[in-house]
Amino acid sequence: MKKHLLTLLFAFMAIGFAAAQTATPLRIVVLGAHPDDCDQDEGGTAILFAKMGHQVKFVSLTNGDAGHQTTGGGALAKRRIAEAQEAAKRFGIAEYVVLGNHDGELVPSLDVRLQVIREIRKWNADIVIAPRPNDYHPDHRYTGVLVQDAAYMVAVPNIAPEVPALKKNPVFLYGYDHFQKPNPFRPDIAVDITGVTEQKGYALDAHVSQFYEWLPWIGGYADQVPEGAEARKAWLTKKSVRPPSAEAKKAIQKWYGKDRVAKATNVETFEICEYGRQPTDDEIRALFPMLK
């Protein structure tokens, strides 16, 4: 009888611990080079985290003051910061930080590395997401390098001691890219964002200077941008959809099951970085509770 009661007690304790773990909001920080990068690559996943009550912060390492064909400097930076703050409201995320480094001039310096370390620490991050250091844009590449350089240092107390070091090393992830050299992106995790496609498009729509002006101009497709706010938003939403690749479909099947593959028409994928904590599959499911 006593043994039976002890078994029940331990079972209830385990259930209570699991419930406490589930009740504690996860803390996710996404770092990008410019005030729209996080939005494009991880926006749908951020929406899902936020809807589940978890805390998401976007960080842009530059203020975006060079990303336009007719305006620049402080005026452009001010506009882009305002767009980022509006996008944060539409995503439903907790915070959108835009650092003061100049667009197009980002380098993996000690000063910027310390900025990255502080942002990760201040958020007490469970998950850190950043680009891989493979990209056409030097700011994107160096954002990846800077986050790699910070991955170990976030737990070292004597580095940037004014912000307490993390007691646990976060899981570091790379967001998707299509570059093949020196090695292609590997979709270890696939998140089905089909159900929040419209909300992601609505949030991206806040970045008027980028998606309707600068990127179409520099990309040579300005003539494709429709007239009218609703038509533009519908065009941008459709343009932002990322159908799963063959490799991503394998990841969808792994995390959601075979029946989800055909239904997932818009996905965001992540590669587990070799730096930081190396999660088991069970830990990934705990860190990405939408995988069900």
| pLDDT tens digits along 194-205 | 999 999 999 999
Lookup: tokens for 273: 């970085």
Q: Where are the domains of the chain?
A: 25-190+269-287
Q: What is the pTM of this model?
A: 0.91
pLDDT digits (tens, 9 = 90+) for 27-57: 999 999 999 999 999 999 999 999 999 999 9
Residue 190 CA, chain-centre distance (Å), reads: 13
Mean per-residue pLDDT of the chain: 93
Q: CB–CB of 228/251 below 8 Å?
A: no
CA dihedral over 83, 56, 265, 195, signed as positive or negative: negative
At 5, is the pLDDT very low, low, confident or very high (cuts 50, 70, 90)? very low
Interval 130-149 mean pLDDT: 97
Q: Is 244 helix (H, G, I), strand (E, B) or coil?
A: coil
pLDDT at 231 over 80: yes
d(CA 20, CA 290): 18
Name the CATH topology of 25-190+269-287. Rossmann fold (3.40.50)
Interval 159-172 mean pLDDT: 97
Q: Is 172 helix (H, G, I), strand (E, B) or coil?
A: strand
What percent of the chain stands above pLDDT 70? 92
Other CB atoms within 10 A of residue 255 CB = 20
- End-to-end Cα separation, the chain, in angstroms: 38
- Nearest C-alpha neighbor of 148 from the set 276, 277, 280: 276
Q: CB–CB of 66/104 below 8 Å?
A: yes
